[in-house]
Amino acid sequence: MTLTRLLTPVALALGLATTVTAQDKTKVGFIYVGPIGDGGWTYEHDKARLAVEDHFGDRVETIYRESVPEGADAERAITEMVLQGADLIFTTSFGFMEPTLAVAKKFPDVKFEHATGYKTLPNVSTYSARFYEGRAVQGHIAGEMTESNVIGYIASYPIPEVIRGINAAYIHAARVNPDVAFKVIWAYTWFDPPKEADAAQALIEQGADVILQHTDSTAPQSAAEKAGDVITFGQASDMAEYAPFPRVSSIIDNWAPYYIARTQAVIDGTWESQQVWHGIDEGMVEIGEITDAVPGDVRAAALALKEAMAAGEYHPFTGPLNRQDGSAWLAEGEVAEDDTLLGMDFYVEGMSGQIPN
């Protein structure tokens, strides 16, 4: 008997075995834009992935791929994940929107969840968090804490999510400190620690004593720490290793409950395409501990702001608010529509500088 003949049944049996387990287990895939160790955005998504594993134990298997570039190559990475047998795939960055849709059209039986996007299909849902609620709290603290009245903001790409964050922070900083000015640097990257550090450095040299970031690494925290008298906020993750100073608070993204719920829906066969936008209320956005570097009354006011948003009593975009060019946007007491917020492409009145197209 030749070796091939001997091995064929073994291979067949193995093949069968894997098919059987594959049917038993639900496979959930995750596409990350940065490395898990970024200490920010991707780190929190991976924490939620581990929570899914913890919650379901043997019933679910998770797979992931780190540092997938946004753009054409993402399509290949997502397709590969489908071919590995994933039943549900979370693509966790805005730039994965088109690649996710392209792959989803080819595989109608696989469910997709795209983070922070706005396009859906029968097998593609979108989910995002109302980070701007957290930005409002940050803006409040920043406006109270700044002495130079210059607040530096490291932005990533000029997309609605980022612009919303800048506006929410500015509105609430200017409310407690009308003299405040925002200096924005567009880094055109989600993750590039040396560049993020350089951007923070440039802002500090331009007089900023508060740095807000919408990029994923902890590099700006280090730059602020080196400068000595600059405060920062953790972005996407607590970044508690830089507390109590320079990091005085943070926005924490908590994806775990959503990921568990959606995995459960796939297991139960009840998964349907939807668009979810959760905030502080649902627990998707959390405010990290406000440290002792912040005076007690400022902290109390910031927490009150957070509570009001959680209770639905206050919306960060409540009129009267004008656009940057002075034209009216929201009348007294009027609250911004979700549609306007989802497509936000303008600064509010008082902001200087242009949004790149």
Q: Which residues bind another protein (CB under 8 A)?
A: 34-39, 67, 150, 152, 158, 183-189, 191-195, 197-199, 201-203, 205-208, 217-219, 221-223, 225-226, 241-242, 352-354, 356-357
Nearer to another protein, 37 or 312 (CB): 37
Closest approach, Cβ 82 to another protein, in A, equals: 23
Closest approach, Cβ 178 to another protein, in A, equals: 18
Q: Which residue type does 10 have?
A: V
Nearer to another protein, 39 or 143 (CB): 39
Nearer to another protein, 188 or 229 (CB): 188
Give the E-state strand segments of the chain in sequence order: 26-31, 60-65, 88-91, 111-115, 124-129, 150-155, 181-186, 210-213, 231-234, 247-253, 275-278, 285-288, 321-322, 328-330
Closest approach, Cβ 319 to another protein, in A, equals: 27
Nearer to another protein, 29 or 152 (CB): 152
Nearer to another protein, 202 or 293 (CB): 202
Q: Is 65 helix (H, G, I), strand (E, B) or coil?
A: strand
Whether the ω angle into residue 320 lies within 30 degrees of 0, i.e. cis, is: yes
- Would you list the DSSP string of 187-227? -S-S--HHHHHHHHHHHHHTT-SEEEE-SSSSHHHHHHHHH
Contact between 170 and 182 under an 8 Å Cβ cutoff? The reply is yes
Closest approach, Cβ 150 to another protein, in A, equals: 7
C-alpha to C-alpha distances, 80 to 73, 83, 89, 219, 307, nearest whole angstrom? 11, 5, 11, 32, 43
Closest approach, Cβ 189 to another protein, in A, equals: 8
Closest approach, Cβ 54 to another protein, in A, equals: 20
Nearer to another protein, 26 or 146 (CB): 146
